[in-house]
Amino acid sequence: VLGFRSHTLLLHDDRTSAENRLKAVNGSLKQVYRTTDAHPIILSLDGLEGPGDYALNRRAALTLVLAKGGQVVRSVALTDTGQHNVPQLREWVEEIAGKIPSDPEELRRMIASNLPKSGDAVRELAVNQGVQLQRLRARLARLESGQMNNRMQQRRPQRMKRDAPNAARRPVAERNPAKPAVKREGAPPDDADLQSSLRAFIRKTNSDERLDDIFADITARASESPELTRQTREMFRLVLSLKDRYGTPHAHELAKGFLDKHPAKRNR
């Protein structure tokens, strides 16, 4: 109803694997699809390269194709996606769909002009919007309730907490079990290109082929100077020290291979 509709296509070289992955992803987003205008992610049948006419960049993590009136207006290959892209994405969308009016009457006219022509489609849209509105109201009520509880807690006089009668008898380690600390090694790079590559490299959704492409870019950048090699080495040490958070097993193998090939020089 706001003049914009989106579709998401997944490119993959293994159809069976991709279909299984999409079942899990779309299943977890089922409630979102029911209460919004979003469409389920679908699998492209054109393989990993995508439709030939689009000439997609295989190294891109995401390609944004904007169209209006059946014509492609803009195609952008993104290698590093995140919150920093939101302002630019909004600008591109507004170029083809226009800005959302701030005036209520203009907004009403805009929505009215974009309503479905079919009565059944309008009815379904109204139901979905009603469900979404109820969810927003429930969330707002929870937020307001939490704020009220916080204010009440602040008004209560502070009281001394008493330990249980046998608390002093228990060993300190038993009362406060220490969690094993993760030993963090290495450091993120200062170089902007390596920073961007690192964010792309540590995604757990990367395929091995995608990782090989990213790794090739990283090693090419690292070879430009000893300082960039050092930053890359520290970057990969960081990845390997946080395996549970960063990267896939293949990413860890690539990182270890780089460290084996470029060991740190020891001071004599």
The 10 Å Cβ neighbour count of residue 211 is 19
Give the three-state DSSP class for 69.
coil
Give the three-state DSSP class for 110.
helix
Q: Residue 64: in which H helix or E strand, if any?
A: strand 62-68
First to last CA, the chain: 69
Asked if 32 and 38 count as a contact pair (C-beta separation under 8 A), the reply is yes
Answer yes or no: pTM beyond 0.85: no
Q: Residue 38: in which H helix or E strand, if any?
A: none
Name the stretches of the chain with pLDDT < 50.
160, 268
> What does the alpha-carbon distance between residue 211 and residue 79 come to, in Å, rounded to a whole number?
12
By C-alpha distance, which of 7, 21, 14 is closest to 47? 14
pLDDT at position 44 is 83
pLDDT at position 218 is 92
Give the three-state DSSP class for 131.
helix
* Tens digits of residue pLDDT in 199-217: 889 988 888 888 888 999 8
> What does the alpha-carbon distance between residue 11 and residue 160 come to, in Å, rounded to a whole number?
60
Can you give the residue ranges of every domain in the chain?
9-114, 115-147, 192-261
By residue count, the chain amounts to: 268
